Chains A and B, each alone.
Chain A
Amino acid sequence: SAVISQKPSRDICQRGTSLTIQCQVDSQVTMMFWYRQQPGQSLTLIATANQGSEATYESGFVIDKFPISRPNLTFSTLTVSNMSPEDSSIYLCSVRVSYNEQFFGPGTRLTVL
């Protein structure tokens, strides 16, 4: 299994600012993912962040808006840049520890005013 923590757990931000979300895992993992979950919706994959390579972004998400760092096998950050109210969502970090199981962090609840 994997225990994942995220910081901050929630934040309220002004439009035009940026927020960096941190994800810490209690074990070394190769595959780490960032998801967004908007109210009442399911999870949408933003990007896959593997250590030692550039993050791979899904359609509709770009590096300039959501830059990601993956400096080592236990840590990653996601930045939500130049925020607008449409970015209000829950952002979840996730890791794959085996082919059959994916664990999620508790999420960061972001509100953009």
Chain B
Amino acid sequence: RKEVEQDPGPFNVPEGATVAFNCTYSNSASQSFFWYRQDCRKEPKLLMSVYSSGNEDGRFTAQLNRASQYISLLIRDSKLSDSATYLCVVDKANNNDMRFGAGTRLTVKP
């Protein structure tokens, strides 16, 4: 089993749509969780951290379910500029390494 697994996508949605990405992780001792965004031919950049209580940043909502070892990212009112690959990132417990999911590609169309 991969350490971090994501919906492979691609997701093709119209502007204004709501889209959700899922991610599962294998190490129950992991403590830190993130969503990164990677535009085509660019480096990954932190989108948001994921907290146990869930957190929201504008149109983006991240949630964590430790019991199910599951993380989600919800994007509301999609914009064309949201088109990118979204990477789920989980720390390797008791270690400073981060493990990256394969990414979910999102295309928002007019």
Is A bound to B?
Answer: yes
| Contact between A101 and B46, CB atoms less than 8 A apart | yes
| Contact between B103 and A42, CB atoms less than 8 A apart | yes
Number of A-B residue pairs with CB-CB distance less than 8 Å in the complex they form: 34
Q: How far is the CB of B12 from chain A (nearest CB, A)?
A: 17
A78 proximal to B (CB < 8 A):
no
Interface residue tally on A, bucketed by range: 10 to 19
| Contact between A104 and B49, CB atoms less than 8 A apart | no
B64 proximal to A (CB < 8 A):
no
A45 to B90, CA, bound (A): 13
Contact of A48 among B34, B96, B100 (CB under 8 A): B96
A48 to B92, CA, bound (A): 13
Interface residue tally on B, bucketed by range: 10 to 19
A100 proximal to B (CB < 8 A):
yes
Chain A, Cβ-Cβ closest to B101 = A42
A44 to B103, CA, bound (A): 12
B29 proximal to A (CB < 8 A):
no
Which A residues from 37 to 62 make CB contacts under 8 A with B?
41-45, 48
Given A31-B96, A43-B100, A48-B96, A99-B32 contact (CB < 8 Å): yes
Task: Determine the chain A residues whose CB is within 8 A of the CB of B97 once the complex forms.
Answer: 33, 45, 48
Residues of B within 8 A of A (CB): 32, 34, 42-46, 49, 87, 96-103
User: Ordered nearest first, which 5 A-B pairs have the shortest CB separation?
Assistant: A104-B43, A42-B102, A43-B100, A42-B100, A42-B103
Give 11 A-B contacts (CB < 8 Å), ordered by A residue: A42-B87, A42-B100, A42-B102, A44-B100, A48-B97, A92-B43, A101-B46, A102-B46, A104-B44, A104-B45, A107-B43
